[in-house]
Every structure is written in structure tokens, then in C-alpha cells.
Amino acid sequence: MEMKEVKAFGAQSAEAPLNQLNINRRAVTPQDVAIEILYCGICHSDLHYARNEWSDVMPTVYPCVPGHEIVGRVTEVGSAVTKFKAGDLVGVGCLVDSDQSCPDCQEGFEQFCPNMVLTYGSADKHTGGVTYGGYSESIVVDEKFVLRVPENIDPAGVAPLLCAGITTYSPMKHWNVGPGKKVGIVGLGGLGHMGVKFAKALGAHVVVFTTSPSKVEDAKRLGADEVVISKNAEEMQKHFGSFDFILDCVSAQHDINAYIMLLKRDGNLTLVGAPEKPLPVAAFGLIFGRKSLSGSPIGGIAETQEMLDFCAEHNITADIELIGVDGVNEAYERLLKSDIKYRFVIDMATLKS
């Protein structure tokens, strides 16, 4: 297969800082869309992968190029492409392929496909190596996995919607968040701040739970109707048995039983944060009230497009800090300290200079 060498930014080993390097991209096949990458968000997953911290489940193959929150312009389309043309503003999220034949794919749930191909770190059937992500000047993707980005919202702020956005939107749609519902958002970070925006735009009464009093005003700015300091037992007790839905965005160890007790009958708590160690769950908290505890990853392609269109309608983007590629290593260190409101986005034009 014909290949093209392009510039990228990635890691050569788990201990090495990310640096500029060259990778190969395939020439477009009939079904492909070639994209010049304008912006790429930084997800915590990128840091884990670059540093081989998921070696048990997803060992990193080096050199690696992270990035699955991609916004760019179409530069070329294959002969069979019908949905896109050169010049279109588009996005690519966490997936670039799936088998398209399993029951999950047939129902539009490509994120559950047993043969899904991740944007980075998966076996690449075209090149024989692994897939390389969005910290690069361009990417080539099957049109089925390319999303149309509305032109009326800031493209840099759109980038994190391709991961953080759909991760919070999908469970809210699944659990029917809307007017008349009381919704809790646990944690006000990259995921949580999107959860607040979506819950508010969907018409719910939104309560943010945070351990940080310094985040109260920002939570209200983002759309929270109430803010609870979760360390305050009295404040927590006021909301006992009153929530229809709680989205837990915290990846650190914490007491989820305290939040399960806040659910009303048939209420649901969905985990989108991923603590490293198992969280103890008290059975009686679920049994009394027929409550449920679930988890949710990203969404399928159709739902991700729905989310982008919803964002355009409601003027929703992520709160971002735009950086150049030379700031990625510092951004990783700041991520570990939660020193960002609320997502880093790389201006990929800085790669070409």
C-alpha cells in the first residue's frame, strides 16, 4: 500500500518525553477521508498510554502517537466517499474502525464492538503496525468514522467533545435526563464540566458535588443550580433519596455509597470516571429503592454526531486552554495535578513550524 510520511508528536518509550517524529499514513482507499488536523484535545488516556500505565490491558507499542479528540479539514476523499468533500470541517473520536457486522455495530453501538479499532494503539490492518492518533499533522480514516463538525461553534473547543463530551452525553441520553429530572454531577473536571453543561441544556435541575469550595462559583457559571461540598455530611443529607440520576466523573478513590443513598427509587448512578482500584458497594443501598449502578464509555458514531449537533444548537463547547505541541509534556504534568480548567487542546499548526 502506498504510504506518506507525516510529522507527528509522540513518545519513543515509557520514560521518554514526547517529541516530534515522523510516521506513515496510508494513501486514501475508496472509502477513506484524508484530514488535515487543526486541533487535538489531550485526554488523560493519552498520558496513561504514552507512559505504558495500562500495560496489563493495553500494552503500548512504541513509538506511540496519542490523541483521539481530533478536529480538522478534509483534504481528499476516496472515490466511494459520499458524505464528505474537500474543505469540510470534521472530527474523529476514539474509534476509527469496527467490524460493522456484530450485533453491537448493527445497532449503532460501535463502542462495544469486540473488534473495534481505536484511534491509537490498535492493530492497523492497512499498515501492519499500530494506529497513530491525532498528535499529528494529518490522518486518514474510513468515512463511517468521520463526524461532521458544525461550523457555528469554536473548532478548538469542539475537540474535547469527541471524548469527554460524548462520554457524558451518552449516559444522560440513555437514562432519559431531561426536564423534571434532578441530576447530580460528581467531580468538576474535564468530564464533570461537560456533564454540567449537558444536564443543564437537557433541562434538568443540576447539582454539582465537589470536595473543593473553590469550585463552587465555577460550577454555577457552568450551569449548576446547586453546589454541594461532599465532605459536609449535613449538606449531603439534605439531598437524601432525591436524585433521578447521578453521573460520577471521579477517577480517584471515593465513597460511592454516599451517592447511592442520594438516589430516589429506581434512580441510577453511572460511573464514567475510572478509579484504579475497585470501589466497595453496599448491597442494601441498591436493594432498598431498586437503585442501579452502571458504567458507560463513549458513544457510537450516530450518537456522537447527535451530540455534536446538540452542541451546535445550544452553543456548547469545552472550556479549554490552547497550547502548542511544545507544551504537551508540561500539560501532562499539570494533568496529574488537575491544574487545568478544564481541557488542554493542542494547536496542531505549531507542529509544522
Which DSSP string corresponds to 205-260? EEEEEES-GGGHHHHHHHT-SEEEETT-HHHHHTTTT-EEEEEE---S---THHHH
Nearest Cα to 320, choosing from 209, 212, 162, 211? 162
**164-295 CATH fold:** Rossmann fold (3.40.50)
The percent of residues above 90 in pLDDT, for the chain, comes to 95
Asked if residues 318 and 164 have their Cβ atoms less than 8 Å apart, the reply is yes
Q: Report how far residue 188's alpha carbon sits from residue 215's, in angstroms, rounded to the nearest whole number.
A: 8
Query: Where are the CATH 3.40.50.720 domain residues in the chain?
Result: 164-295
Q: Give the pLDDT of residue 153.
A: 96
317 pLDDT band, cuts 50/70/90, is very high
Q: Is the pLDDT of residue 271 over 80?
A: yes
Query: Where are the CATH 3.90.180.10 domain residues in the chain?
Result: 3-162+318-351
From the candidate CATH numbers 3.90.180.10, 2.40.10.120, 3.30.70.1710, 3.40.50.1400, the one assigned to the domain spanning 3-162+318-351: 3.90.180.10
33-41 average pLDDT score:
98
Q: Which residue has the cell 440520576?
A: 245
The percent of residues above 70 in pLDDT, for the chain, comes to 100
78-95: pLDDT as tens digits: 999 999 999 999 999 999
353 pLDDT band, cuts 50/70/90, is low
Q: Which long-range contacts (CB under 8 A, 24 or more apart) does 142-145 make?
A: 142/31, 142/32, 142/33, 142/96, 142/97, 143/31, 143/32, 143/33, 143/77, 143/78, 143/81, 143/82, 143/83, 143/84, 144/31, 144/100, 144/301, 145/92, 145/93, 145/95, 145/96, 145/97, 145/110, 145/301
Q: Is the pLDDT of residue 1 over 80?
A: no
Asked if residues 311 and 71 have their Cβ atoms less than 8 Å apart, the reply is no
Nearest Cα to 90, choosing from 159, 149, 6? 149
Q: Report how far residue 169's alpha carbon sits from residue 153's, in angstroms, rounded to the nearest whole number.
A: 17
120-124 average pLDDT score:
96
Helices (H), the chain: 44-50, 103-106, 155-158, 164-174, 190-201, 216-222, 233-237, 257-260, 283-287, 301-314, 328-336
Q: What is the pTM of this model?
A: 0.96
- Chain centroid to CA 140: how far? 20
248-271 average pLDDT score:
97
Q: Report how far residue 17's alpha carbon sits from residue 330's, in angstroms, rounded to the nearest whole number.
A: 10
Q: What are the grid coordinates assigned to 349, written together?
A: 499548526
181-209 average pLDDT score:
98
Q: Give the pLDDT of residue 65.
A: 98
Nearest Cα to 14, choosing from 82, 58, 63? 63
203-216 average pLDDT score:
96
Q: Give the pLDDT of residue 58.
A: 87
Q: Give the pLDDT of residue 12.
A: 97
Q: Give the pLDDT of residue 169.
A: 98
211-220 average pLDDT score:
95
Q: Is the pLDDT of residue 343 over 80?
A: yes
Mean pLDDT value across the chain: 96
126-133 average pLDDT score:
94
Q: Is the pLDDT of residue 352 over 80?
A: no
Q: Report how far residue 304's alpha carbon sits from residue 144's, in angstroms, rounded to the nearest whole number.
A: 12
Q: What backbone phi and psi angles, to 5 degrees, belong to 155?
A: -65, -30
